[in-house]
């Protein structure tokens, strides 16, 4: 909180409340310093100084950003968002997302434009020009929300701006409903951990092809991130495949239909990879160490599956028995583990020139699993 916003807050608390002798301001982190700056700014000209951008300037900026957002949606009719019931409003979002995603860098341009519009709008209300476009602002925010949901994008400042808008104007400005990206696409919410054939078939049949790509990307990123907490090597491999597919799509090297098929195939491979333990006769932890042994390398493959499986089992047993909660911070424990891992590798005849890299990967994998082991 700073500048104009801070001065407004001070004005609102500068009154008697119940038995208090005056208003109360609590110094949250950095507030006192910001208050000094705002007051200095305001009193510099005998109390007539400009605390921040005035409302007319904010309105001008708001209208400029509003035109940018309207330009992105040129040719798209969102009147149902304004006149329809909640279900009808939701039904507008899939086509709106598709309209944005079909444009060059459409998503990033919209996110930037809506963020700037929201900030200007928050400063401009309750000016009549701001109130006139409040429903359109809500629409732009809703589209931005479903496009960025689950990606970790956006900053806290943007969330605070949207909260301010809801507080200052009304629920009509920015919907308080939670927007489900799957419902917004007209799909049942899938079991993300499974990525079932039924759901993948639904996505393949979506008329909004660019939206289908975006949805698959988000699901795969989430599943790969979760997989990385158990199996680093597997997660890195799939992350690279996903990145390559998306790059080809963004560079227009492949058509939308092709990338959808690639992502669906990747989803199925990811699902099958999660079941490899059943085929190998290994637990999930053992599969993670098995993958850390560079099993695709021809020199390693010479050892054969049975030997590699035996190495994986022994590595889990040895490493798990020697890690402590703080082992990653203690170099003596790490050094001991390196020795123990190399001893296991030598015992089974693992290629000497591959042992150093395998040891590093095994210890990385141990770091990922040790937190879970500590709770077991």
Give DSSP secondary structure letters for 343-361.
HHHHHTT--GGGHHHHHHH
Distances (CA, A) of 372 to 143, 152, 271, 352, 368: 38, 24, 22, 31, 8
Lowest mean per-residue pLDDT among 122-131, 190-199, 204-213, 245-254:
190-199
Task: Write the CB contacts of 61 (distance below 8 Å, at least 6 apart in sequence).
Answer: 53, 116, 120
Both tokens of 302, joined, read: 């010479």
Lowest mean per-residue pLDDT among 99-113, 172-186, 211-225, 281-295:
172-186
Summarised one tens digit per residue, pLDDT across range 89-133 is: 888 888 898 899 989 888 999 999 999 998 888 888 878 888 899
Lowest mean per-residue pLDDT among 2-6, 81-85, 136-140, 342-346:
2-6
pLDDT number for residue 298 = 83
**pLDDT (mean) for 320-331:** 78
pLDDT number for residue 84 = 83
Residue 3 pLDDT > 70? no
| Residue 138 vs residue 36, higher pLDDT | 138
For the chain, domain boundaries: 3-43, 55-184, 197-274, 280-375
Residue 77 pLDDT > 90? yes
Q: Is the pTM of this model over 0.85?
A: no
pLDDT number for residue 73 = 94
Lowest mean per-residue pLDDT among 46-50, 198-202, 339-343:
46-50
**pLDDT (mean) for 219-248:** 91
Helices (H), 102-155: 106-124, 128-132, 134-148
| Residue 267 vs residue 371, higher pLDDT | 267
**Percent of the chain scoring above 70 in pLDDT:** 72
pLDDT number for residue 113 = 92
| Residue 89 vs residue 354, higher pLDDT | 354
Lowest mean per-residue pLDDT among 35-39, 171-175, 267-271, 276-280:
171-175
**pLDDT (mean) for 15-25:** 44
């Amino acid at each position: 909180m700073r500048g104009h916003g801070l001065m407004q807050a001070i004005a609102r608390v500068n009154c008697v409340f119940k038995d208090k002798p005056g208003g109360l301001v609590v110094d949250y982190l950095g507030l006192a310093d910001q208050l000094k700056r705002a007051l200095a700014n305001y009193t510099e000209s005998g109390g007539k100084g400009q605390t921040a951008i005035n409302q007319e300037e904010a309105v001008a900026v708001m209208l400029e950003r509003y035109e940018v957002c309207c330009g992105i949606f040129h040719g798209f009719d969102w009147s149902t968002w304004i006149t329809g019931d909640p279900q009808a409003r939701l039904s507008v979002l899939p086509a709106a997302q598709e309209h944005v995603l079909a444009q060059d860098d459409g998503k990033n341009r919209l996110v930037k434009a809506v963020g700037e519009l929201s900030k200007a709008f928050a400063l401009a209300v309750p000016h009549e020009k701001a109130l006139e476009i409040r429903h359109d602002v809500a629409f732009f925010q809703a589209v931005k929300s479903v496009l960025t949901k689950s990606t970790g994008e956006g900053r806290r400042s943007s969330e605070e701006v949207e909260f301010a808008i809801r507080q200052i104007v009304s629920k009509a400005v920015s919907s308080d409903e939670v927007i489900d990206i799957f419902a917004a696409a007209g799909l049942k919410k899938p079991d993300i951990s499974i990525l079932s054939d039924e759901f993948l078939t639904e996505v393949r049949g979506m008329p909004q092809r660019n939206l289908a790509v975006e949805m698959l990307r988000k699901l795969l990123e989430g599943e790969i991130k979760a997989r990385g907490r158990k199996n680093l090597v597997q997660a890195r491999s799939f992350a690279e495949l996903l990145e390559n597919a998306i790059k080809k799509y963004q560079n227009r090297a492949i058509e939308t239909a092709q990338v959808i098929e690639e992502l669906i195939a990747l989803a199925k491979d990811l699902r099958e990879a999660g079941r490899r333990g059943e085929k190998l006769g290994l637990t999930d932890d053992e599969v993670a160490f098995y993958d850390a042994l560079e099993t695709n390398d021809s020199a390693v493959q010479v050892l054969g599956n049975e030997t590699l499986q035996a190495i994986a089992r022994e590595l889990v047993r040895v490493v798990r028995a020697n890690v402590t909660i703080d082992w990653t911070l203690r170099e003596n424990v790490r050094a001991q583990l390196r020795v123990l891992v190399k001893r296991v590798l030598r015992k089974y005849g693992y290629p000497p020139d591959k042992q150093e890299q395998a040891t590093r990967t095994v210890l990385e994998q141990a770091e990922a699993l040790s937190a879970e082991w500590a709770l077991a």
